[in-house]
Structures are given as C-alpha cells and as structure tokens.
Chains A and B, each alone.
Chain A
Amino acid sequence: MIWRKKSPEPPAEAPAPVVPPAALTIDALGRKCPIPIIMLAERVGEVPVGAVISVLADDPAAFTDIPAWCRLKSHQHVESYELPRGGWSIHVRRQY
C-alpha cells in the first residue's frame, strides 16, 4: 500500500471527465519521463502568454513531474484530467 497520488488507471465506471480545450496539445502518450517534459519545454514558447497547453502522458512520473516543472519554471499547472484510456491530460498555462 505504497502511497500514490492517484491511480494511473481510472475506475472502470468513472464518467469521462470534461477536459476544457487547450491552445496546443502535446501527445506524449507512451513516452517515458523525462521525454514528456522535454517536449513541453521545447514547445511552451509556441503559445501566447496566458494560453494553456495540454500534455497527454501516461508515464506515472509525468503526473508528478509536470507540476514540479511548472513550479521550477514559474509556469502554472492548471489541472490534470484523467483520460478514459489511462494517463492524463495535464494542463499548463504559459506565464511569461
């Protein structure tokens, strides 16, 4: 019973969460950390300041590491939405 923030697999009966739209979606599904974060860092400049980027990732490390990257880089972690097929849509707002 190692403590985990969230199960990577959403419960079978859970309703699909409503994921708000993002200015840019980065598909990092199937990619292991640190690749999803490298993809995010490379492309954060492609959206205007204040816009939201969605990173699709299913490596459990990304769930912790993308919010940590936001804290270190002074961007905003908006929310992480569980995807119906596993993984998350992790929303990041460009701050500068």
Chain B
Amino acid sequence: MAYLDAASTEPLHPAAREALLAALDVGWADPARLYGSARRARLLLDQARAEIAEVLGARPDELSFTTSGTQAVHLGVLGVSQARRRAGRHLVVSAVEHSSVLHAAGVHEGAGGSVQTIGVALSGRVDLPAFAEAVAAEGVAAAALQTANHEVGTLQPVAEAAEACRAAGVPLVVDAAQSAGRLPIPPGWSVLAASAHKWGGPAGVGVLAVRKGTRWRSPYPEDERELRRVPGYENVPAVVAAAAALRARAAESAAENARLSALVDRIRAEVPRRVPDVEVIGDPVDRLPHLVTFSCLYVDGEALLTELDKAGFAVSSGSSCTASTLRPSHVLEAMGVLTHGNVRVSLPRGIPEDDVDRFLTVLPDIVRRVRQRLGVQ
C-alpha cells in the first residue's frame, strides 16, 4: 500500500516511537506531584514544552498541551473571544478554515456573537484587503486564519493578516496544523494551534500557544493542569514523543521539503498531461511542500477512491459522495473549483519516488474506467 494521505495523519516518526517507548517507562507518574518519579515526569514534560516552543517560535510558558489540534483550535477561538467580550462580539474568519475553527465560530454565534466569513480567490488564498478591512471595523473580538489550507495546500498571507490585526488591536488565532513541523511559523500570531500527529508525533497531542499579553479565558471549568489553560491529566509519554518527532522533522525539513515539493511538482505537471479534463487545484507556488489536489471532470470521487484503494493507493477526497454530510467540501465550494472527482494526494516523509511514479502510471486508466462506467467517452 502506497500511503498518500499524510495530511490526514503523518505516520509515526521513528524518533517519536523510540521516545514514546522510553517515556512510557520513565514518564508515567503524575507531573503535578512532588516525589521522585513525579518530578521526573514534570522534567520530561517541561523539557518537551521548551523544545516544541523553540521550534514553533513561542516561549515555553506560552505553550500548553491539549488532547488534539481540534481542542487547541476550540480553546484558542473561544478563549480569546470570551476574554474580549467587552471589546466586541464579532469574529472574522476565512471561508476555508478547518471545520474546527468554523464549528467554534458557530458556538460563538450561538452564544449571541456574530461571525464574518472572508472569501478566497480561485487559488484558495484569502482576500487579504477584505480581511484587513473586516478586522479594522468596530467591535471585532478576534480573527482566525490558517497558515496553509488542509485540502488544497495553499499558503495564507498570515504575516500580512497579523499586521492588519496588530494595527487594529485584534488578536489573531492561527491554525498551523498543516504546516507546523514542515515550514517556519509566520510571525504575528496571538494564539497558535497545532497538532502533533500531523508532523509525525503520536495522536492525542495538540499544542495551544497564547502569546504573552494576549487576553484569553478558558471556556472550560477551572483546572490546574497545563498552566490552567487545558483541563485534564497530561499524557507525558505522548508529549515527549511529539517533541522528539518535531525536533527530528525540523532537522530534516530543508532536504525533505525540497524532495517532496519536486514530487508534487511532478504530479501537478503530469496529471493533466496524462488524464484529460482535469483541474489541478490550489496555488502552484505558494503552497505546502507535500500536498496537491486535483479534480477530474465526469468522475465520482467515491468510485475513484475505491479504485485507487484497490490498486494500493491511500488518498482522500473533498467530493460530497465521500463525506458523511453528502455535501462537497466547503473549501472547494468557497474556491469555486470543481468539487466532484476530487483527489487529495499528500506525501509522507520518506515516501519512495517510485510510489509517486506508480500512482501516475495507474491513474489514467482508473479515471478512464470510472468515466466509462458513467457512460462518458
């Protein structure tokens, strides 16, 4: 099986596996207690915090561990909007944010707040002038913008958006789940959210960083854990493994990014050459190094995924027939691109070049067969 779905989850990095096994033995005790094994767990936890903070460009005391990237986003969006109730009740988000951002915005709206969604270009890049204008308006509590889109890979102008937010005195929540561990975090965030399993760490570790001076109040009941930002007992071994993976990724990223990006360029060039009626989606240059999405006309996404699975390729799709909601992806809709016949290919670290070549070899025939079944010549 060729695994081409790293954007859903990156396979566990060998460095993380090794650290996890070691930390299960030495880091199991309660880091909030004062005896020897507990102090050891506390030390491991804080060391991991310092390491992850350094790679992400945060201070250790700004950073808390959550149970997922989704929880980090929920806490980030709701925590700043709650803390700034008196400044305003308006939230500004891009139309292509991860569903965790949009669902948190939905909760804010349900509590009497308002939400403004900023549209994107055909490339998926947010309309920056519209974003800047929206955050400069009266009564804005917070804004949210992703570093990179999870479905199409387009990078967002976070530094510029952060500058507009700073000028307006509005905190910016940055969802860095797809880029953390792969690309440097752009400057200017007030709250940062990320997820360890996307960079090769274990599942169950998210990162929430709240910049010094940013007002934030937990939407949850009070709890003493994680600098009072996240409730519940810390998973110290998993956090240690997450730090090991991030450290390893940061060391490898320059060489591996260039390799994966060249493979993505090959897919972007070859798919439309080999398959008729295909639209390659997302920004060709300002994009994540490992992710490419395309849509095939006259093809249903579910059939395409099933056929690719049979041929030994794991990919994902934003087409409606592959979603539990039976609606196409809100990202593809907002971009105004073809939503059916959609395939997202995201390359994990270390993928053999041969896997990509085989994918490019089998794809044309699979698309042709699916079209034939639908009666398309």
B321 at the interface (CB under 8 A from A): yes
A94–chain B nearest beta-carbon distance, Å: 17
The range of chain B's interface size is 35 or more
Q: Does the CB pair B374–A68 fall under 8 Å? A: no
Complex partner residue of A1 from B102, B279, B299, B320, CB under 8 angstroms:
B102
Closest approach, in angstroms, between the C-beta of B196 and any C-beta of chain A?
25
Give residues of chain A (3-57) contacting chain B, Cβ–Cβ below 8 Å.
Answer: 3-5, 32-35, 37-38, 41
- Residue of B330, B336, B338, B374 with most partner-chain A CB within 10 A: B338
* Nearest-Cβ distance from residue A10 to partner chain B, whole angstroms: 17
Known: A33-B300, A34-B374. A65 touches B340 (CB 8 A): yes
Q: Whole-angstrom distance between the alpha carbons of A52 and B196 in the complex?
A: 52
* Residue contact A68 to B328, C-beta cutoff 8 Å: no
Give the complex CA separation of A26 and B36 in angstroms. 75
Known contacts: A32-B321, A68-B279. The answer to whether A5 contacts B340 by CB under 8 A is no
Q: Is A82 engaged at the interface, CB distance under 8 Å to the other chain?
A: no
A78 interface residue (CB < 8 Å to B): no
Partner of B339, one of A41, A64, A71: A64
Please determine whether A1 and B106 come into contact, CB atoms closer than 8 angstroms.
yes
Residue of B nearest to A68 (CB): B338
The residue on B at minimum CB distance from A6 is B333
CA distance A68 to B297 in the complex (A): 10
Q: Is the CB of A38 within 8 A of B328?
A: no
B357 within 8 A of A: no
In the bound complex, CA of A14 to CA of B99 (Å): 30
B375 interface residue per 8 A CB criterion? yes
For A, the interface residue count at a CB cutoff of 8 angstroms equals: 22
Pair A35/B333 contact, Cβ less than 8 Å: no
A87 to B376, CA, bound (A): 25
B330–A69 CB distance below 8 A: no
Q: Measured between C-beta atoms, what is the minimum distance from B211 to chain A in Å?
A: 26
Name the residue of chain A whose CB is nearest to the CB of B119. Answer: A3
Q: Which of B270-307 contact A (CB under 8 A)?
A: 277, 279, 297-300
Docked-complex contact B297 and A72, CB < 8 angstroms = yes
Interface membership of B311, Cβ < 8 A: no
Report if B132 contacts A (CB, 8 A).
Answer: no
Query: For residue A59, which residue of chain B has the nearest CB?
Result: B320
Complex: chain A residue closest to B320, CB-CB = A61
**B320 and A33: CB pair below 8 A?**
yes
User: Taking the complex as formed, is B205 at the interface, i.e. its CB lies under 8 A from any CB of chain A?
Assistant: no
Tell me the chain B residues, 117-163 only, with Cβ under 8 Å from chain A: 117
Does B337 have its Cβ within 8 Å of any Cβ on chain A? yes
- Is the beta-carbon distance between B95 and A60 smaller than 8 angstroms? no
Chain B residue nearest to A77 (CB atoms) is B336
Would you give the shortest CB distance from A2 to chain B, in whole angstroms? 5
**With A38-B375, A61-B320, A61-B328 already in contact, 12 other A-B pairs whose C-beta atoms are closer than 8 Å:** A1-B106, A2-B103, A3-B117, A32-B300, A32-B321, A34-B297, A60-B326, A61-B339, A64-B332, A64-B336, A68-B279, A72-B279
- Sampled A-B contacts (6; CB under 8 Å): A1-B103, A60-B320, A65-B339, A69-B338, A72-B277, A72-B338
Q: A-contacting residues of B (Cβ < 8 Å)?
A: 95-96, 99, 102-103, 105-106, 109, 115, 117, 277, 279, 297-300, 319-321, 326-328, 330, 332-334, 336-341, 374-376
